């Protein structure tokens, strides 16, 4: 697959029958999803059902046993992770994985350099509009930030790659409520801009219901329920989400 492909103008993601095994143990068992352009899609489920594995498969971090991944009609299966990132996918994993010994400003700069250029001033101002606290902490080392502030930094860094699909793995995990609200506000602003789709793995049910357009629930590595967020009934919640 050529690394010279340009990111698409709009982003839709299609997963067709993903199968994936780790150490001989099946983890994904025929996962199929369709994520529409300019939408927020929530991938949900209990711990250990394959949510994070699905995201890693999308990014090419884990090899598929079978199935297909297409982004706005282009097959990603043969692309390396770096190619997928250049093609418009941005991934914020659990644990955030910022550079703790670099300043906030340096972390942000790395996000822009990943696409081979310096950030434009309007891009930086957009980041400050989404996450105002980062402007105050530009010289502070990333490792000195709180967990919630690190999450904001990780999302901000990924946005400077100019993604068409932003993939967030449990962005509210272990974060104080006021920063959860700020992250939710940022996701709303990004959706309103209409320049990307967002794939959100999340166990915080109210967060998903407030932000999501569509959902899918995994159970034992397969899709157990899916549809518009308005169809996420209490019966489905009890069957597949309640611990």
User: 8 near 164, Cβ under 8 Å?
Assistant: yes
Instruction: Tell me the angle at which helices 121-130 and 147-159 cross, rounded to the nearest 10 degrees.
Output: 150
Summarised one tens digit per residue, pLDDT across range 23-35 is: 999 999 999 999 9
What is the length of the chain?
243
Q: For 115-165, what is the HEC assignment?
A: CCCCCCHHHHHHHHHHCCHHHHCCCCEHHHCCHHHHHHHHHHHHHCCCCCE
- On whether residue 158 sits in a domain, the answer given is no
- On whether residue 30 sits in a domain, the answer given is yes
Distance, first Cα to last Cα, the chain? 43
Under the banding of pLDDT at 50, 70 and 90, the label for residue 122 is confident
Mean pLDDT of 183-201: 94
Arithmetic mean of pLDDT over the chain = 92
Q: What is the pLDDT of residue 243?
A: 75
- On whether residue 86 sits in a domain, the answer given is yes
CA–CA separation, 170 vs 164, rounded Å? 19
pTM value is 0.93
Mean pLDDT of 86-109: 91
Q: Is the pLDDT of residue 81 over 80?
A: yes
pLDDT, greater one: 224 or 123: 224
Task: Return the CATH number at 60.
Answer: 3.40.50.300
Question: How many other C-beta atoms are found inside a 10 Å radius of the C-beta of residue 51?
Answer: 24
CA–CA separation, 29 vs 48, rounded Å? 13
- On whether residue 6 sits in a domain, the answer given is no
- On whether residue 174 sits in a domain, the answer given is yes
- On whether residue 104 sits in a domain, the answer given is no
DSSP 5: P
Summarised one tens digit per residue, pLDDT across range 208-220 is: 999 999 999 999 9
Domain hosting 64: range is 13-97+164-240
- Provide the domain count of the chain: 1
Torsion from C-alpha of 86, 88, 93, 96, nearest 10 degrees: 80
């Amino acid at each position: 697959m050529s690394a010279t492909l340009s990111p698409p103008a709009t982003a839709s993601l299609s997963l067709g029958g993903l199968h994936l095994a780790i150490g001989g143990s099946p983890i994904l068992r025929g996962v199929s999803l369709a994520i529409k352009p300019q939408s927020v899609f929530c991938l949900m489920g209990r711990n250990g059902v394959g949510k994070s594995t699905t995201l890693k498969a999308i990014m090419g971090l884990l090899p598929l046993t079978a199935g297909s991944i297409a982004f706005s009609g282009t097959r990603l299966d043969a692309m390396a992770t770096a190619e997928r990132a250049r093609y418009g996918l941005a991934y914020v994993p659990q644990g955030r994985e910022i550079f703790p010994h670099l300043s906030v400003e340096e972390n942000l700069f790395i996000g822009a350099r990943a696409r081979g250029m310096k950030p434009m001033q309007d891009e930086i101002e957009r980041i400050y509009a989404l996450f105002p606290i980062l402007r105050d902490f530009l010289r502070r080392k990333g490792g000195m930030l709180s967990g919630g502030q690190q999450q904001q930094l990780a999302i901000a860094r990924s946005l400077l790659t100019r993604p068409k699909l932003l993939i967030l793995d449990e962005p509210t995990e272990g974060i104080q409520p006021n920063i959860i609200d700020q992250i939710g506000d940022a996701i709303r602003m990004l959706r309103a801009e209409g320049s990307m789709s967002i794939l959100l793995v999340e166990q915080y049910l109210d967060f998903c219901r407030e932000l999501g357009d569509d959902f899918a629930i995994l159970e034992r590595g397969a899709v157990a329920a899916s549809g518009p967020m308005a169809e996420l009934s209490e019966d489905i919640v009890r069957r597949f989400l309640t611990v």
